[in-house]
């Protein structure tokens, strides 16, 4: 299977993760004018599973190191399969709340608040489990990111008070998504053999772990998304027949969104071998900067904001960038 050889290549993969995780939500924005997020999310989940299988059957089945996908799949034990599946279930519970928050509050709020919280808690959880990197720089970077979250929430409150947008609800859902999101990565990491060049019996390769993770996302979606369709956070109740009323573009944008996210997740998992799970996860969650930039500058989610909001947003972006740089330097 294909694996990374150096820390610098792992950082490059983390940057790609950052771009993927920060950009996939544009597909939701593109489909959002005519397509409810609950319906979009079905195709998004299908896209995750499709890309996980494609990567497993290509990169995960090539090269001389590690263990190829089909051989790895055949020898996987139940404990590690359950761990990867559980990671997918926890992620899906968090991500469906994040998608809901995007539909209510926008990318430039849901990502910095929700994913920012996930980054802070997730780095702590993953570092305690597998400590790698200088803790001073690592946690100093996390502190700057936490401050950036506070600034972003403040900017959103100021804007919502003028535009009469549902400030408290959007922020609350973002926070709930972030807390849940901080736990999923650890379950995926626990299912894999730690050194990708040294397979361990029963443990999963990163590619096999991603396939089971995607399976957990799909299975749990029949519970989580069905519930939200029947008891929506906003709007009217949906039926399954509504999904089949969508056009080709509606379904395609969701599938592409899921595939983009899965590339980011797969690259983050591959990078964890050389960078460590805490740093790999933390750098990937720098997607908040990318998503906030999309929301602020392209989608104009803070249009007509009151005086002083621009300063808060610029400080937020600078603190995020500085925090991410310190996380990189920690290794």
- Write out pLDDT tens, residues 15-41: 899 899 989 889 988 886 679 999 999
The whole-number pLDDT of residue 167 equals 54
Q: What is the pLDDT of residues 190-203, one digit of tens each?
A: 999 989 999 999 99
Give domain status of residue 12, yes or no. yes
Give domain status of residue 278, yes or no. yes
Tell which wins on pLDDT, 312 or 218. Answer: 218
Give domain status of residue 136, yes or no. yes
With pLDDT > 70 as the criterion, what percentage of the chain qualifies? Answer: 97
- pLDDT band (50, 70, 90) for residue 234: confident
Give domain status of residue 69, yes or no. yes
Name the pTM for this structure.
0.85
Give domain status of residue 1, yes or no. no
The whole-number pLDDT of residue 131 equals 86
> For the chain, how many structural domains are there in total?
1
Q: What is the pLDDT of residues 138-167, one digit of tens each?
A: 889 888 878 887 787 778 777 766 655 545
Give domain status of residue 294, yes or no. yes
Please tell me which of 94-98, 120-124, 232-236 the model is most confident about, judged by mean pLDDT.
Answer: 94-98
Quick one: how far is CA 211 from the chain centroid? 16
Q: Which domain holds residue 62?
A: 7-329
Query: Could you write out the DSSP letters of every residue in 29-57?
Result: HHHHTTS-HHHHHHHHHHHHHHHHHHHHH
Close Cβ partners of 222 (under 8 Å, ≥ 6 residues apart): none
Give domain status of residue 218, yes or no. yes
Give domain status of residue 147, yes or no. yes
């Amino acid at each position: 299977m294909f694996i990374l050889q150096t820390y610098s290549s792992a950082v490059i993969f983390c940057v790609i993760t950052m771009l993927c995780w920060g950009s996939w939500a544009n597909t939701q924005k593109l489909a959002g004018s005519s397509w409810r997020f609950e319906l979009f999310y079905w195709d998004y989940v299908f896209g995750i599973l499709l890309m996980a299988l494609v990567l497993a059957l290509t990169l995960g089945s090539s090269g001389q190191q590690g263990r190829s996908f089909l051989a790895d799949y055949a020898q996987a034990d139940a404990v590690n399969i359950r761990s990867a599946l559980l990671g997918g279930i926890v992620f899906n519970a968090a991500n469906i709340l994040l998608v809901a928050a995007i539909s209510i509050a926008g990318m430039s709020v849901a990502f910095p608040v929700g994913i920012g919280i996930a980054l802070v808690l997730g780095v702590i959880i993953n570092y305690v489990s597998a400590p790698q990197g200088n803790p001073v720089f690592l946690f100093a970077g996390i502190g700057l990111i936490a401050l950036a979250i506070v600034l972003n929430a403040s900017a959103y409150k100021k804007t919502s008070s003028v535009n009469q947008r549902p400030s408290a609800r959007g922020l609350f859902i973002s926070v709930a998504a972030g807390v849940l999101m901080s736990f999923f990565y650890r379950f995926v990491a626990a299912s894999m053999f730690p050194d990708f060049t040294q397979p361990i019996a029963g443990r999963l390769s990163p590619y096999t772990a991603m396939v089971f993770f995607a399976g957990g996302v799909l299975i749990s979606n029949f519970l989580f998304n069905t519930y939200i369709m029947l008891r929506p956070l906003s709007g009217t109740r949906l039926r399954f027949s509504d999904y089949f009323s969508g056009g080709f573009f509606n379904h395609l944008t969701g599938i592409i969104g899921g595939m983009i996210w899965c590339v980011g997740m797969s690259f983050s998992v591959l990078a964890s071998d050389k960078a460590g799970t805490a740093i790999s996860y933390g750098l990937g969650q720098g997607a908040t900067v990318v998503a906030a930039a999309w929301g602020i500058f392209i989608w104009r989610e803070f249009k007509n904001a009151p005086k002083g909001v621009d300063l808060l947003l610029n400080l937020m972006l600078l603190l995020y960038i500085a925090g991410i740089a310190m996380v990189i330097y920690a290794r």
